[in-house]
Structure 1
Amino acid sequence: MRARLRHLLVLLVALVTAGCGPFGTAVSRSSSSPSPAPETTAAPAKVSRPWQPGDPQLGAQILWYAYSGETDTAVRTQALRLVDHMVALNMNAVAVSFPFSTAGPTADRVRATAATPSPRQLAILLDTAAAAGLRITLRPLLDERTLVAADPLAWRGSLAPADRAAWFRSYGAFLAPYLELAARHHVRTVVVGAELTSLEDDPRWRDLLTTARSLFPGELSYDANWDDYVSRHVPVPVDHLGVDAYFPLTGLGDDASVADLVAGWQRWLDRKSTGKLPRIVLSEVGIVASGGAYRHPAVWKSDGPLDTTVQRRWFEAACQVARDRDMAGLYWWNLDFHADPGAADPRTDPPASFLSRPAESVIASCFRAWPR
């Protein structure tokens, strides 16, 4: 395990202990569900300029941990609420991340859990987004809690299946119904893996992708962890690459300017290549609204005081870098599927949330001004 990940992974243990998901999002394991939104049959707001091939993908990741007993009506109403908010922020795209699990770091199988939304309920969200004119990406994401429970230093990028062939067979079987769902419900891109660093060199990706292409005619993508992206060629043979962009800027304090942050991002990206990056999507960009976050932007738990300026400047810098590099898209991390944007409280909401904080205004202005 690389030393630069240890601090993050130890903090992930604290998240689990505190009853939070691995991304700083509260996850319920009880039979109760959140308070349902009022039922509605309204149509979603429409994107003013729907995405077209060649346009940048300008969106956010919706992270959906399902609740027991959640009805289709509740899903439909919440999907409408989130999609309307995304349209209001000048987004033209959405990525839907949802969890799956494995028994531990050396396990040979993956599986859906009670927190994995069913294909039927995912279809409700996908159809709502499509009706609004949003470009759609579907993205399974390995939940890390069972990994951390077995080894505090384990994460999805350090998987070591005892039988890799069995793991890939299991993973392919898990993906199949979601690929078929994507083919039927307006999805443009399926991310076939995210941050699975230790498995990226495996030749079995080729067979898995051949099967995936037989089930889904759209684009297949893979999202690399930030350090993996800059340090080497990511060999998963997909159509496009995404980057979960959490570049640590260890030399900068909370008073760093946007220009300082931009320069730090550019130095990281230059380790890979200089100039334009028209085939790269920033698949995750986010940070907590708290002091010290520039040094560890991937850490979602903060004991420090709220500092929304830290978050705002990070968002401004990421937008500028993505535009300067002519990147294919940018997705902010994240919108909890169960969040109510209209009821967000910037003083007490989790530090990673951008809802009703200055960073949210940055999103709207960034996407409004982005050349298309």
Structure 2
Amino acid sequence: MRTRLRGLRGLVLLPLLPLLALLLTAGCVSPGAGSPVSASASASASAGGESAPARVARPWRRGDPQLGAQVLWYTYPGETDPSVRANALRLVNYMVGRHMNAVSVTFPFATAGPTASRVGVSAATPSVRHLGMLLDTAAAAGLRIMVRPLLDERSLVARDPLAWRGSLAPADRAAWFRSYEAFLAPYLALAARHHVSTFVVGAELTSLEDDPRWRSLIATARRSFRGELSYDANWDDYVSRHVPVPVDHLGIDAYFPLARLGDDASVAEIAEGWQRWLDRKTTGKLPRIVLSEVGIIAENGAYRHPAVWTGGEKLNPTVQQRWFEAACRVARDREMAGLYWWNLDFHADPAAGAPAGSHTSFLGRPAEAVITSCFRTWPR
């Protein structure tokens, strides 16, 4: 399915990792958490001699738009505290330099297959302690923070090439939700202690959204995390029906296909296509909606299937640039609550630009300048 292919976006260079290492522990939260940002976060950022991060010129305040990027973190074997701190500092400084006031940290969890009734961490899941280092660095910079677990689809595709996280069919749904609640527990505790504003309790789990067990899971989440709870719906799910997960705010992973547009389409034409999609749900302002993922591959044909990130066509950075410009225009016109670009790999060096041969990254390409302009001029 097109969305399933998009779910593998940006991961083609990652080695295949062992699937499940269900090592959840309640005592993994970083020590010293819970103290004020100015104390614990600054101390964490400067631990080991690193420089403190640059500060956001205008930190997010209630009512401001969330202007950020999704930091995608698949951990590698042998990551160390110094390397994690260095990566966190490099990316946070980059985001501040691009006029961002927010960051969403996306990290993977795993399951054994489409019908499995358990989920958990894998070898690709960053440790709770290392996640805390990134969150503290972001907080020290004044960034608004969102935490977002995302189901890794590789085990699903291995069983069924058409499977994706939105088509899960657990053999025992009650067991699945118990397992998912247990998986989330240490990350909710992390969020409560490390300056997190929003926790995304689920993303693109379309086939499970109607389950009444969400209510109990979310009630449990609220007992340990007092911030905002959110859910990120897939683009087609959002426009076609009511998403019944009972959260404070809804995000959209926004990959609206524009099948009639060629590679030379204008920004205005792309924006009009986005507006038509959104109008299927509702017209007018959308002040409670966040565009939780906005991205597209930089190559020919991408407007027709923006959710597909497997590549194969000719590199075309202008396609990506105009898509970003249109998304910014639509989000501002609709007065949306925020926009997060997809994505910044946690291990990337923004100064080096896009990796050789990659069509997925916006680093060092015209779309990067669009991000800066969009956020610098966004009305607040």
Q: Give the TM-score normalised by structure 2.
A: 0.90
Q: In the alignment, does 2:154 pair up with 1:145?
A: yes
Q: In the alignment, does 2:30 pair up with 1:22?
A: no
Partner AA of 1:339 in structure 2: A
Number of matched residues? 350
CA contact (8 A) 1:29 1:67 kept: no
After superposition, residues 1-372 of structure 1 pair within 5 angstroms as 6-7=1-2, 9=4, 22-25=8-11, 26-29=13-16, 41-345=50-354, 348-372=356-380
CA contact (8 A) 1:277 1:327 kept: yes
CA contact (8 A) 2:354 2:362 kept: no
Deviation at 1:28, TM superposition (A): 3.0
Deviation at 1:24, TM superposition (A): 2.1
Structure 1 residue ranges without an equivalent (≥5): 1-5, 13-20, 32-38
Structure 2 residue ranges without an equivalent (≥5): 19-47
Partner AA of 1:87 in structure 2: V
Give the ranges of 4+ consecutive aligned residues of structure 1 lying more than 4 Å apart after TM superposition.
Answer: none
- CA shift in 2, pair 1:238/1:345, >3 Å: closer
Q: Separation in 1 of the partners of 2:308 and 2:354?
A: 21
CA contact (8 A) 1:51 1:92 kept: yes
- CA shift in 2, pair 1:213/1:345, >3 Å: closer
CA contact (8 A) 2:299 2:313 kept: yes
- CA shift in 2, pair 1:181/1:349, >3 Å: farther
Q: Separation in 2 of the partners of 1:215 and 1:122?
A: 18
Q: Separation in 1 of the partners of 2:200 and 2:10?
A: 22
Report the 3-state secondary structure (helix = DSSP H, G, I; strand = E; otherwise coil) of the residue aligned with 1:342: helix
Q: Separation in 2 of the partners of 1:40 and 1:344?
A: 26
Q: Separation in 2 of the partners of 1:51 and 1:170?
A: 34
Deviation at 1:352, TM superposition (A): 1.2
Report the 3-state secondary structure (helix = DSSP H, G, I; strand = E; otherwise coil) of the residue aligned with 2:260: coil
Percent sequence identity over matched residues? Answer: 74
Report the 3-state secondary structure (helix = DSSP H, G, I; strand = E; otherwise coil) of the residue aligned with 1:100: strand
Equivalent residue, structure 2, for 1:18: none
Q: Separation in 1 of the partners of 2:286 and 2:132?
A: 32
CA contact (8 A) 2:8 2:310 kept: no
Q: Separation in 1 of the partners of 2:99 and 2:236?
A: 30
Q: Give the TM-score normalised by structure 1.
A: 0.92
CA contact (8 A) 1:301 1:351 kept: no
CA contact (8 A) 1:40 1:77 kept: no
Q: Separation in 1 of the partners of 2:357 and 2:132?
A: 29
Report the 3-state secondary structure (helix = DSSP H, G, I; strand = E; otherwise coil) of the residue aligned with 2:310: coil
CA contact (8 A) 2:250 2:289 kept: yes
Q: Separation in 1 of the partners of 2:63 and 2:3?
A: 36
